[in-house]
Chains A and B, each alone.
Chain A
Amino acid sequence: MTVSRFTLTGLSVLEGAAALPADDLLGIWELNAPQTTAFAAVAEDAVATSSPAGAVEPGLIWRAELPASRGEAKSELEARLAAARVRQAYLEAAEKRLSDLQMGLGYSAQTADAESALLAEVMALRGSAVAYGAGDAGAISLLHLYEQCEALVARFRRLVQHYARVETSVGGQPVALTIVDWSGDHSVTWQDGIGPLDMALHMDSVRLVLATRQAWLRLISVVASGALSLSVKASVPGGQFLLFPAVYRFVRDVLAELEQVQVNQEAPG
């Protein structure tokens, strides 16, 4: 039985990409994984460089490699689409929690939740008395976070720079390829002779990519506006840049926390 793989290529050439986790923060796409699909093998660097004159520069390639069992493929795609919707809802929740954040209220340095960690960071940046504990460790962690954010922003830049190319293969056989440009133009190319179920699977792959793209934009929007809002509340001049990494970490922590709650709820017994 073939195993499903959902990969996104074209990001590994980015500077600092190594600092980022290999998933897409939404748990849906595997980034920069070696390619195994029946589609033409594309070297990572080939994606980044410009093509010969006249040809369009290739964008990010999203690949859904699905198992030969259509039922399994369908359920896999639906599970991921559902996951994308759930993550969108988590993002909304993170945004709500950010806006609910009341500086100085209910704050305790000992509290380990995401809000406390964020406030600690804000206080530190404001020069407040609260510190990270061991200063050096905090600095290293912050350094890492800055690197991550930088890579993340570069990733988003790439996302808005390019169209998305979605490739679907079922049981190792290529089925279809769709290019979606920024404003939503769709060009879909079908392999001759494929049946309606495979067509539906590819449609779902495209939906999944668009949902992911939407979620990423939402993520940056939440982080950017969250950083801005906090910088105003905490009166940190220029804080929307300074606080960006801290807010990013907060959002990531909230996503992980909600994910954990979900896992615990689903666990038997």
Chain B
Amino acid sequence: MPDDLKAYFEGDLVFNGINAITGEYGQPPLSSEKLARLVRGAPLPQDYRDFVERQRKLADLAQVDDRLQPVTDAQSDLRVRLEEARLSELRFKAQNPTAWPTIPGAGDPADIANVGWGAIFPAEMHPNVREEIKEALQPLFDMRRERAGDLFHIYEGGSAYRSGERKGQFFERLGVGPGLADPREMPFYLLLVGTPEEIPYSFQYQLDLMRAVGRLDFGSDIEAYQDYAWSVVAAESGDIVLPRQVAFFAPTNHGDKATQLSAQVLVQPLYENLVVAAPDFDIALDHDWDVLAPFMGEGEATHDQLQRLLGGDSAQTPALLFTASHGIEFPPNHRAQLQQQGALLCQDWPGPGSDVLRNHYFAAEDVDTSADLTGMMAFFFACYGAGTPQLDQFSSQAFKVREKIAPRSFTAALPQQLLKQGALAVIGHVERAWGYSFISPQGRGENQAFITAMRTLMNGHPIGMATDSSFDMRYAELSSDLSADLEELKWNPSYLSDYELVYRWTANNDARSYIVIGDPAARLPIAEREPAPILETEVRQEVPATPVVEAVPEFVLQPAALVPVVQSDHAAIGYGLEDQFEKLKASLKSFTDQLATSLGNAAEDIITLDVRTYSTADIAAVAEALDGRREVSATLRALTRVAFDGDLQVYVPEKSDRGVDSALWSIHKAMVEEAQESRANFLATMADLAARLLDSLRIGS
């Protein structure tokens, strides 16, 4: 296997990302030598000719003004200075022995009560829009504020992000120091609210180094913000509990090295790792997870299958989905670019050079409109899967040319759509995913960052922590090394092989460009950690302390406060209301009769409490059947019988297919809890009512 992997570096390198119009790779295949030249910023004349030729082709596809602009000296200078600042922070992070970039003593970073939560609005945003968005997000803000207390902060008005501001400037203006995150200065979890034009990706990358950052960008769709806020609140309030199920989706397009590589070297080993709950040297999973075999290759990783995984079939929709595929790209200004760039290319595409048809890739509009994705999270390994910057970073590095690849920077539509339909967050890639980031030049799979991210998520930790401990740390390490390497290479050209340089450069780019779409403090709503099973047959176990029977205040009859005035029982007669009085009396009697009957039945029924969960393909038919029009036809999926003393009998079907039973089980369990509580209330109310009526009758007779 290692030799095979090494071979990937020896032929032409192919990259993730397929142009939807040409059916060709977005970035044409390159040899390692050529890529190494470009990375060093030392292209040969032929490299320029290839670049110009490609630009000519692209120009036929799209009309964009000033698509190519030379990088000016000022821009170069700025870039160098930015690079230096970034490097010092990266070195600090890479060398810092603490697991999290928070100051010592801040406490568990998984809890926003310790490390805070904030939202950053752009100063550019119109105040009316900002107010509307804030109002829509209020439930989320309220929940975060309640937990974070003083460590909750909204950055708006004077403290909003200002256009063009770099992280250092932003921090300086707000009096926030560099280095490890001090939540008292600025919360650790930060939600950027706005488009990447308003708050650029470069700022997000920088901020993400020492903090957990996510972004919400629904444009002017205020309702989407509101729905999203409610999804997070519902997930964290315990209303939503998802079955612990993770799925993988990995096309292997015919004749395409990139997807074969991602399937074999990324997805398959990732799957094999996650199947083991507690492997050596990895984060142990706190819960048992249903790790589904990957939907991979022919007949598996299809467009239809992806639709089912993304809510088209709730039984197949996992809590966590990982995909590795090509992302679709369009020439800049193409009418479909904003809506479809970053869409996931499925197995349906025949392979490089073939036309890309609309049903070959899965875009935002392919998500079933009725899909309920509440609580789920997804990880898209694909070019532009999370978004697209306006300018291509690679051209700048290689040819000192800023190439406009989109009319403006934008967030990918697919993750936005998932969030609109209930998903809590998506991890995805901005820019081109280079693919080789998970193979070392020695031919080893380097999946650790993916494994760490997935395991952190599966343990119910905030998604911002999942990326921080994996890709951010990896970025810190790689970037720090790479800049030293590039410096050394200037003096010693044989310091690194082309493979090694290409690997470090692509891996560095890849690790940098993962971002979180959604609240960085969101976590998978899976069941709480349950106690480990007790394997002995006879063990001692604590039972609740001896219960205290609480007495209710006794209903005491008040003594007559006035001197009794003996009146007719029918005082109402004076008003001519005899009939009504009699009717009311009869009515009350009828009520008490019914109550007596119901009490009698209740006394019998109370012995057991049954909770039954059925499912049906046609619930309206069940409603009709209950009205006596037809026979009821429904499938009993779970039954719990609670005896009066609390003993339980549970009847469940064996798990038979993908998660149906676990989803139903969660809701059944919640119903049982509800029923038991309602039974307890019922008992108390009925006893109280009975006692009062009894009194009433005693005195009335």
Binding site for B on A (CB under 8 A): 38-40, 42, 46-47, 51-52, 55-56, 58, 69-72, 74-75, 99, 102-104, 124-128, 135, 138-139, 142-143, 146-147, 149-150, 153-154, 156-157, 160-161, 165, 167, 173-200, 203-204, 206-207, 210, 214, 217-218, 220-221, 224-225, 227-229, 231-238, 240-242, 244-245
User: Is B62's CB within 8 Å of the partner chain A?
Assistant: no
Give the top 8 A-B pairs by smallest Cβ distance, nearest first: A195-B372, A51-B628, A71-B230, A235-B564, A146-B580, A184-B679, A197-B374, A183-B605
Tell me if A103 and B561 are in contact (CB < 8 A): yes
Q: Which residues of A contact B584 (CB under 8 A)?
A: 146, 149-150, 153, 241, 244-245
Residue A154 contacts which of B576, B590, B595, B678 (CB distance < 8 angstroms)?
B590
Q: How far is the CA of A213 from the CA of B355 in the complex (A)?
A: 63
Q: Which residue of A lies closest to B233 (CB)?
A: A74
Interface residues on B, range: 35 or more
Q: Which residues of A contact B495 (CB under 8 A)?
A: none
B58 vs chain A, min Cβ distance (A): 41
A193 and B558 in contact (CB under 8 A), knowing A38-B620, A225-B695?
no
User: Which residue of A69, A127, A241 has the most chain B CB atoms within 10 A of its CB atom?
Assistant: A241
User: Is B223's CB within 8 Å of the partner chain A?
Assistant: yes
Q: How far is the CA of A185 from the CA of B602 in the complex (A)?
A: 11
Question: Binding site of B, secondary structure by majority: helix, strand, loop or mixed?
Answer: helix
Q: List 16 A-B contacts (CB under 8 A).
A: A74-B239, A125-B567, A142-B575, A150-B584, A157-B587, A160-B591, A167-B623, A179-B626, A183-B682, A184-B676, A185-B605, A203-B674, A210-B678, A233-B558, A237-B567, A244-B588
Q: Which residue of B lies closest to A207 (CB)?
A: B674
Q: Which residues of A contact B617 (CB under 8 A)?
A: 191-192
Residue B695 contacts which of A181, A217, A228 (CB distance < 8 angstroms)?
A228
Binding site for A on B (CB under 8 A): 139, 223, 226-231, 233-234, 239-242, 311, 313-315, 317, 370-375, 422, 555, 557-567, 569, 571-572, 574-577, 580-581, 583-585, 587-588, 590-591, 594-595, 597-598, 601-602, 605-606, 609-624, 626-629, 634, 663-664, 666-667, 670-671, 674-676, 678-679, 681-682, 685-686, 688-689, 692-693, 695-696, 699-700
Tell me if A232 and B566 are in contact (CB < 8 A): no
Q: How far is the CA of A40 from the CA of B628 in the complex (A)?
A: 12
Tell me if A69 and B226 are in contact (CB < 8 A): yes
Tell me if B571 and A185 are in contact (CB < 8 A): no
Tell me if B422 and A70 are in contact (CB < 8 A): yes
A-B CB pair tally, cutoff 8 Å: 311
A194 and B674 in contact (CB under 8 A), knowing A39-B623, A217-B685?
no
Tell me if B239 and A235 are in contact (CB < 8 A): no
Q: Which residue of A lies closest to B617 (CB)?
A: A192
A174 and B692 in contact (CB under 8 A), knowing A75-B139, A229-B557?
no
Residue A231 contacts which of B229, B609, B618, B699 (CB distance < 8 angstroms)?
B699
Q: How far is the CA of A81 from the CA of B306 in the complex (A)?
A: 38
B274 vs chain A, min Cβ distance (A): 22
Tell me if A221 and B692 are in contact (CB < 8 A): yes
Tell me if B675 and A185 are in contact (CB < 8 A): yes
Q: How far is the CA of A228 from the CA of B621 in the complex (A)?
A: 47
A117 vs chain B, min Cβ distance (A): 16
Residue A187 contacts which of B231, B614, B679 (CB distance < 8 angstroms)?
B614
Q: How far is the CA of A206 from the CA of B569 in the complex (A)?
A: 43
Residue B374 contacts which of A70, A210, A235, A244 (CB distance < 8 angstroms)?
A70
Tell me if B571 and A198 are in contact (CB < 8 A): no
Tell me if B616 and A203 are in contact (CB < 8 A): no
Residue A234 contacts which of B240, B562, B664, B688 (CB distance < 8 angstroms)?
B562
Q: How far is the CA of A102 from the CA of B628 in the complex (A)?
A: 53
Tell me if A184 and B667 are in contact (CB < 8 A): no
A7 vs chain B, min Cβ distance (A): 14
Q: A125-B567, A139-B576, A235-B562 are in contact. List 13 more A-B contacts (CB 8 A).
A: A46-B627, A99-B558, A125-B571, A157-B591, A186-B611, A188-B613, A190-B667, A194-B372, A195-B422, A203-B671, A204-B239, A207-B674, A221-B688
Residue B226 contacts which of A72, A161, A165 (CB distance < 8 angstroms)?
A72
Q: How far is the CA of A155 from the CA of B229 in the complex (A)?
A: 40
Q: Which residues of A contact B373 (CB under 8 A)?
A: 195
Q: How far is the CA of A72 from the CA of B605 in the complex (A)?
A: 38
Tell me if A174 and B700 are in contact (CB < 8 A): no
Q: How far is the CA of A51 from the CA of B678 in the complex (A)?
A: 28
Q: Which residues of A contact B559 (CB under 8 A)?
A: 232-233
Residue A214 contacts which of B317, B567, B612, B681 (CB distance < 8 angstroms)?
B681
Tell me if B606 and A197 are in contact (CB < 8 A): no
Tell me if B565 and A235 are in contact (CB < 8 A): yes
Q: How far is the CA of A186 from the CA of B610 in the complex (A)?
A: 6
Q: Which residues of A contact B315 (CB under 8 A)?
A: 193
Q: How far is the CA of A16 from the CA of B120 in the complex (A)?
A: 59
Q: Which residues of A contact B562 (CB under 8 A)?
A: 103-104, 233-235
Tell me if A180 and B623 are in contact (CB < 8 A): no
Q: Which residues of A contact B605 (CB under 8 A)?
A: 181-183, 185
Q: How far is the CA of A191 from the CA of B317 in the complex (A)?
A: 16
Q: How far is the CA of A241 from the CA of B580 in the complex (A)?
A: 11
Tell me if B613 and A237 are in contact (CB < 8 A): no
A256 vs chain B, min Cβ distance (A): 22
Q: Which residues of A contact B615 (CB under 8 A)?
A: 189-192
Q: Which residues of B contact A200 (CB under 8 A)?
A: 234, 239-240, 374
Q: How far is the CA of A101 from the CA of B540 in the complex (A)?
A: 56
Q: How far is the CA of A242 from the CA of B582 in the complex (A)?
A: 10
Residue A241 contacts which of B560, B574, B581, B678 (CB distance < 8 angstroms)?
B581
A56 vs chain B, min Cβ distance (A): 7
